[in-house]
Amino acid sequence: MLVATGLVLFMTLPGLALFYSGLVRGKNSLSILMQCFAITCAVSVLWVICAYGLAFGNGGGWNAYIGGGKWFLSGVDVNAISGNIPETVFLMFQMTFAIITPALIIGGFAERTRFPAVLLFSALWLLLVYVPVCHWVWGGGWLQQRGLLDFAGRTVVHVNAGVAALVAAMFIGRRRGFPATQMPPHNTVLTVAGASMLWVGWFGFNAGSALAANGNAGMAMLVTHTAAAAGSLAWMCCEWLKYGKPSALGIVTGMVAGLGTITPASGFVGVGAALVIGLTAGTLCFLATQHVKRALEIDDSLDVFPVHGVGGTLGTILTGIFADPRLGGLGFSPGATMGDQVVTQMIGVLATATWCAAGTLVLLKLLQGMGGLRVSPDKETEGLDLAEHGERGYIL
């Protein structure tokens, strides 16, 4: 579990940071690294102060909706046990999930948002949106009681982040020049390197969620790898057919789609299901990306909603199908049929998306009134590296 925890943190620093930094223009590359690093620090501090208790503590009469207690980790010591591991290890493992979720969101409004607004939004969003959903799904809340199957966080992490990114992208508005001006990644090598780190780190994300070194963890790792490979190939082929050439950016984005979509199912399904889920994810997320950017002209800068939001919805619902033992899965929630489980999975997605959209919108309106979200047109043209941090990502 210590290794799995390190792998999940490795997904954000340096994996996601490099993946996102390579995708933006050079004048904003350092700002992305700074945002990922600062979010990691802020979430870590909030987690030990109150967020862990709200997510996994006992909320008394409100326990179906929110936890409580364990402020500053009171009542937690090195000998306290959560399942088969010390609670200190469990809370650290869960902290890394809380870190990467708001970090994912910044891809929706990259290259145009003030650094103080990003940091404050991430902190408040953690407490208002992430923590309640985490409690609902994993902390003994109403979705867990209902029997929602989410092994490693597709609703908690990916649907949550995807919906928040979409709402933020629409509220803050497009980058100057979008969609008429081409805004290609400034360094695809960084993006591929970061994506490769995400692939490796995801084994901690999914296999670690078994909270044990056993066959369930081994199968989670196997299906995670299989879905990533299938998603990569599916996206690559879609792009090849549509544009005549396969791209490095496309194949790594397909990998992220495959990884994210298998996440809720990883502890419940077999290899055959992983192949289907990965291929479906690579195809549908590719089509969703085209639709959001080209048809709807929504500037979700780094495709957070099409990849994570759509993939999260798809993976959560497919878990309700492929968990069937007749399809090689480990079974549904006690007493549930396939139909019951699919309904529960859909309720989980809808509840998460609704709460996230409402909470995100409230926070954005609040921050807009406090000091504004967006940098000035001149600063956007200059680039956030210099305008917000007084530094350059590259000195050439």
| pLDDT at residue number 364 | 98
What is the chain's alpha carbon radius of gyration, rounded to the nearest angstrom? Answer: 20
Nearest residue to 167 (alpha-carbon basis) of 6, 360, 347: 360
Start-to-end C-alpha separation, the chain: 43
Q: Which fold has domain 2-387?
A: Ammonium transporter fold (1.10.3430)
Report pLDDT digits (tens) over 194-230: 999 999 999 999 999 999 999 999 999 999 999 999 9
Q: Which residues pair with 113 in a beta bridge?
A: 374
Query: Average pLDDT of 230-240?
Result: 98
Grade residue 352 by pLDDT with cuts at 50, 70 and 90.
Answer: very high
Give pTM, 2 decimals: 0.96
Q: Give percent of the chain above pLDDT 70.
A: 100
| pLDDT at residue number 258 | 97
Extents of the domains making up the chain: 2-387
CA–CA distances in Å: residue 259 to residues 95, 195, 196, 227, 229: 20, 11, 12, 6, 9
Report pLDDT digits (tens) over 278-323: 999 999 999 999 999 999 999 999 999 999 999 999 999 999 999 9
**Alpha-carbon gap, residue 281 to 314, rounded angstroms:** 7
Grade residue 353 by pLDDT with cuts at 50, 70 and 90.
Answer: very high
| pLDDT at residue number 76 | 87
| pLDDT at residue number 162 | 97
**Alpha-carbon gap, residue 356 to 142, rounded angstroms:** 16
Provide the strand spans (E) within 46-108: 81-82, 85-86
Averaged pLDDT score across all residues of the chain: 95
Report pLDDT digits (tens) over 91-144: 999 999 999 999 999 999 999 999 999 999 999 999 999 999 999 999 999 999
Provide the strand spans (E) within the chain: 81-82, 85-86
**Alpha-carbon gap, residue 161 to 288, rounded angstroms:** 16
| Pairing of the two strands 85-86 and 81-82 | antiparallel
Assess whether pLDDT exceeds 80 at residue 81: no
